[in-house]
Structure 1
Amino acid sequence: MLPLQAQTGCPSDCVCDQPPNWKTEELTLYCLREVEIQNLRGTEHETALMKRLFRWATVLEKMTVTFHCSVADSKAKEFCQMLRSFCRPEISIKGQRFA
């Protein structure tokens, strides 16, 4: 029996070293009805993800967003308004601050 050797890292051609292409990936999340996101800061990357999530989750009904404690109430309200501007009208969006 050969002794097990510890692997020090992935090979150079490993898929985990490649940048993710989630911004161009087309998915269908046809069972996702409710989403809860915590510690949202309202960054550009988070906004991009949310836009895609609304497009991918074809039966989404409810989204609850809890903002990081560093996010001001005014910025949280503004972010929720922006989310409502690009989601389907039947999706309920609730925003709250992390306590």
Structure 2
Amino acid sequence: EKAGLYYIYAQVSFCTKAAASAPFTLYIYLYLPMEEDRLLMRGLNTHSTSTAVCDLQSIREGGVFELREGDMIFVNVTDSTIVNYSHGSTYFGIFKL
């Protein structure tokens, strides 16, 4: 798309159990083909729970960034095996301001 200010947002819902140890982290990056990808946002959740069954939790983040034409954004998480991919639970979006 065109250069300008964009609002970038994401939510990731995930299932935790009592055995969880390290924080679950959601990252949003600016992809830079000839450089190291640039971290735009990071959200953490320590997801401590005492239950042995799924404890559904979410991380949401959003922010305004100046993007150039052709810039690409991507989302990453620390453990994709616990992500809840149900419709409306996990999503990512961007719109021009």
TM-score (norm 1): 0.28
**Between structures 1 and 2, the one with greater strand share:** 2
The higher-RCO structure (CA 8 Å, 6+ apart) is: 2
Larger gyration radius, structure 1 or structure 2 = 1
